[in-house]
Structure 1
């Protein structure tokens, strides 16, 4: 049991009905999980308003109601606490409930359209190699000191986060690295957490189905930095046109990193091949098996974070040189006949263009580049023609196929994509709805030394059609088909 007075510490309270000098059990924002003596936080969600379930929570045994709007009928013996914002209150309550775990370990958050997963995963692997016990919260997986936990959201709910971070502290973790999504920021799913370091990768066209405008999307990302305290450090990408915008109103210590301009952490690509890059960071050279300017930028942010956290630069670069690709992020392999197959999560116009630009910089042009790409259903439709435009212009052949159609008609998604293809590039395109058939066709048409990019799903091991998920891995399918086809 916990003291309600202690849980309410730092919560912005407008009104209290009945006493707060009581002991409570758990905190819940889902009324279905309420048990005797719990605290129910009525949160106004995207589709459901928790205020509608206050009576149900009370009937199930809730002892305390945290809400923005007091109910018309007050139940005797129940404590009601009216607050300005239930989502923020939930974050503070959650942190207090788990004894503020992010004050007991150094938490690093990374936000941006592309590169979050790669950067946080590389940070986790780097600090693990440097001898620290660490935690990772990413799209691909959640890990606490080597033990993997399934992940369902880029940013889990705030109760889950605090519970995991307390577990990490109990296991002796020194650092935690997490992806911070625009949805998580906007919905206050990181409220109450203390970030030692916050990093920004980039911002491009994405999630407009949720944020509606690009300005709103930028504002959501920027809020992460606006809310940082003076004790934090913010590191932003000077190569991104919105990199400085992110830090305009932050109280945190400001740092910048860049490949193309002067910055606190300055990098450049010396040599670029399909098996890796020779890089220079702050006048120190090292080799990495990662490929692409975007990965050089991700590594530079990792280097910057490590420097801010007072790690030895030489030891950091030695460790970075041993790290491999993150699953589904420019993951490449050669078939027996010498075809290069690259699987990448690129699901935004900018990410796709970055991957294709990287391939273009390395290839000899004596080989074909075949791109297999689709767009997800029930998501931002405006990026579909852009994706198709980029793929058809920068590839010798672009095969448009399904990604995760979800509840949309896959054929309709492909029609949305085709609109973006310029007339002079239309003969470079094919439309094959079945993703496995699309990959099979690409491999059949490829010759030794040709390059196949399979974009959009990356690390995902499923395909979602009409709400049903079935096993589907681009890497597995491409590997299997290349052997069957003797390619």
Structure 2
């Protein structure tokens, strides 16, 4: 229990009706979770407006309401607080309610279109191997040192973030690595958090269903770096033209990493094969089990971050060579028939292009590269033809299929993907809307030494159709079908 006035510390208030000297048991922005002596924060969401549920929250026991407009009809005994932006206020309140837990550990945020999960997860893995207590907030999972929780969003809501950070404090966690999505930044979920560092991986086409333009998407990412304090570090990929844009207004200490040009941290790929990468990082060689050019960038970002956080260079190189790939990120198996199946989360044009180019740079060209790919429903439609173009141009055979259709008709999504296929590539393509059948067909088409790429869902273990989630694991399914071929 904590006083409302203490929860509101540092929040900008426009008006207050009632007393802020009341005690609050919990904060909620979901009226269905309100109980006695809770504070209700009315959030304007994409689907619903919390201001429409103020009366319901009060009838359920809310004794304080934070809103952007104080209602006309006030209830005696309830304190009303008006702010400009309730999402921003919620983040500040959440930090205060949980005792500002981000101040008690070394928090590093990772943002960018691709690589956020890999970089944050591998940093967690590296610092665990170095003997530290570590936290992770990622798309794949949430870790409070050794304890794993299921993740529901790339960047959780601010209450959830601070609750987990508070648990990390209780467990003595020293470092936490966190994915920071554009949605999370735009919706102020990271407001009030004390970051010791920020990492920018890259920027490419994604989320234009939410951000109206690419420039808006870029500027939202930039906002994260603009708000880093002077004691923090900002580490950016200098090979991405947007990398230096991120540093334009930051107060943080700035560092760059790159493969192609001068940077504070530079790497050169000496060997690239399905077994891993041999890299020259600055002046030292290191072997990693991670695969592909895009992972060379990820490894470099991890190396730089670990050094900036105070780990010894030799120790970091040793730990990098022991890192394991992240779930659903270029995970591969080789069947007894010598068919290689790769499962990857690539769900943006740039990520798909990176994965396919990586495979093509390793394979001998005497084998087929069969790609199974789709696009999610109710998401950015403009990337669909681009995905179709890239998949058909860089594969020898392609099966277009469903990803998570959600509320859309799979056939409509597939038609938009196919629209990007150039005439000379039509003969390479096949369309099977049933994803399981598409994976089975790819396995049946494959000959010894061929490569199957199953892209788009990666670590996800479900498929969402019309609001219903069913069990679906690409890796598990392809293993079963490849095993059947051996009989």
Which band: TM-score by shorter chain? over 0.9
Cross-structure match for 1:362: 362
The Cα offsets for residues 190-241 of structure 1, whole Å up to 9 and x where unpaired, read as: 1111111111111111111111211121122111111222222111110111
Residues 197, 228 of structure 2: 8 Å contact kept: no
Residues 87, 191 of structure 1: 8 Å contact kept: no
Cross-structure match for 1:306: 306
Worse-matched range after superposition: 198-207 or 16-25: 16-25
1:322 paired to 2:322: yes
Cross-structure match for 1:138: 138
Residues 65, 79 of structure 1: 8 Å contact kept: yes
Q: Report deviation, 1:454.
A: 0.9
Q: Report deviation, 1:44.
A: 1.4
Cross-structure match for 1:222: 222
1:25 paired to 2:25: yes
Please state whether the residue corresponding to 1:66 is helix, strand or coil. strand
C-alpha separation in 2, matches of 1:476 and 1:38: 44
Q: Report deviation, 1:83.
A: 1.4
Cross-structure match for 1:209: 209
Please state whether the residue corresponding to 2:14 is helix, strand or coil. strand
C-alpha separation in 2, matches of 1:78 and 1:413: 49
Cross-structure match for 1:86: 86
Cross-structure match for 2:147: 147
Cross-structure match for 1:333: 333
C-alpha separation in 1, matches of 2:465 and 2:35: 36
Q: How does 1:402-421 map to 2 (within 5 A)?
A: 402-421=402-421
Please state whether the residue corresponding to 1:333 is helix, strand or coil. strand
The runs of at least 4 aligned residues of structure 1 exceeding 4 Å deviation read none
Q: How does 1:31-430 map to 2 (within 5 A)?
A: 31-430=31-430
Query: Structure 1: which 5+ residue stretches go unaligned?
Result: none
Paired residues in the alignment total 487
CA RMSD, Structure 1 to Structure 2 (Å): 1.2
Please state whether the residue corresponding to 1:430 is helix, strand or coil. strand
Please state whether the residue corresponding to 2:453 is helix, strand or coil. strand
Query: Structure 2: which 5+ residue stretches go unaligned?
Result: none
Q: What TM-score, normalized by structure 2, do the two folds share?
A: 0.98
C-alpha separation in 2, matches of 1:409 and 1:54: 36
C-alpha separation in 1, matches of 2:210 and 2:43: 18
C-alpha separation in 1, matches of 2:44 and 2:452: 45
Please state whether the residue corresponding to 1:311 is helix, strand or coil. coil
Q: Report deviation, 1:18.
A: 2.3
C-alpha separation in 1, matches of 2:274 and 2:60: 60
C-alpha separation in 2, matches of 1:21 and 1:344: 52
